[in-house]
Amino acid sequence: MLLYENIRLAFSSLRANKMRAFLTMLGIIIGISSVIAIMTVGESIESSVTDTMGSLGATNITVSLQEKEDEEEGESVEMGMQFEGPGRMRTPTEDDYFTDAMLHDYCENYPDTIEAISVQESLSSGQLLVDKLYANVSPSGVSDGFFLANDLELIDGRYFSDHEIENHSMAAIISDKAVNNLFQGDTDAAIGSTISLVSGDQYLTVTVVGVYEYEQSIYSFGNTSEKDLSTDLYLPLPTARDLNHTTGESSFTVVTAAVTDVDSFISSTEQFFNTYYRNNRNFEVYAFSMSSMLDSLTSMMGTITTGIALIAGIALLVGGIGVMNIMLVSITERTREIGTRKAIGAPNSAIRMQFLVEAMVICLIGGIIGVILGTVLGLVAAKVLDMPATPSISSILISLGFSMAVGIFFGYYPANKAAKMDPIDALRYE
Partner 1 sequence: MEERRKMIEMTGIVKKYFIDTPNELAALNGVDLTVHEGEFLAVVGASGSGKSTLMNIIGTLDRPTEGHYTLDGVDTNAAKDSELSSIRNQKVGFVFQTYNLIARTSALMNVELPMLYGGMSRKERNERAEELLRMVGMEERMKHRPEELSGGQKQRVAIARAMGNDPSIILADEPTGALDSSTGRMVMDLFHQLHDEKGKTIILITHSPELAEETERIITLKDGAVISEREGSGHAVV
Q: How far is the CB of 296 from partner 1 (least distance, A)?
A: 58
- Among the listed residues 82, 194, 332, 348, the single contact to partner 1 using CB under 8 A: 348
Residue 156's closest CA among 209, 233, 205? Answer: 209
- Among the listed residues 10, 13, 146, 211, the single contact to partner 1 using CB under 8 A: 13
Q: Residues 253, 63: contact at Cβ < 8 Å?
A: yes
Q: Should residue 417 be labelled a site residue for partner 1 when binding is judged by CB under 8 A?
A: no
- Among the listed residues 54, 336, 388, 397, the single contact to partner 1 using CB under 8 A: 336
**Cα three-residue angle 45-251-89, rounded to 5 degrees:** 95
Q: Should residue 342 be labelled a site residue for partner 1 when binding is judged by CB under 8 A?
A: yes
Nearer to partner 1, 12 or 264 (CB): 12
Q: Should residue 400 be labelled a site residue for partner 1 when binding is judged by CB under 8 A?
A: no
Nearer to partner 1, 2 or 101 (CB): 2
Q: How far is the CB of 322 from partner 1 (least distance, A)?
A: 23
Measured CA to CA in angstroms, residue 2 lies from 6, 135, 325, 348, 417 at distances of 6, 74, 25, 13, 19
Taking CB under 8 A as the binding criterion, the range among 7-15, 166-174, 212-220, 376-384 that sits at the site for partner 1 is 7-15
Q: Should residue 427 be labelled a site residue for partner 1 when binding is judged by CB under 8 A?
A: yes
Q: Should residue 45 be labelled a site residue for partner 1 when binding is judged by CB under 8 A?
A: no
- Among the listed residues 23, 300, 310, 343, the single contact to partner 1 using CB under 8 A: 343
Burial of 26 (0-12, 13-18, 19+ CB in 10 A): middle
- Among the listed residues 79, 258, 344, 393, the single contact to partner 1 using CB under 8 A: 344
Q: Should residue 12 be labelled a site residue for partner 1 when binding is judged by CB under 8 A?
A: yes
Nearer to partner 1, 4 or 83 (CB): 4
Q: Should residue 91 be labelled a site residue for partner 1 when binding is judged by CB under 8 A?
A: no
Nearer to partner 1, 409 or 429 (CB): 429
**Count of residues binding partner 1 (CB under 8 A)?**
24
Measured CA to CA in angstroms, residue 379 lies from 24, 31, 193, 220, 387 at distances of 26, 17, 46, 20, 9
Q: Should residue 241 be labelled a site residue for partner 1 when binding is judged by CB under 8 A?
A: no
Q: Should residue 340 be labelled a site residue for partner 1 when binding is judged by CB under 8 A?
A: yes
Greatest distance between any 2 Cα atoms in the chain: 106
Binding site for partner 1 (CB under 8 A): 1-2, 5, 9, 12-13, 15-16, 336-337, 339-348, 350, 423-424, 427
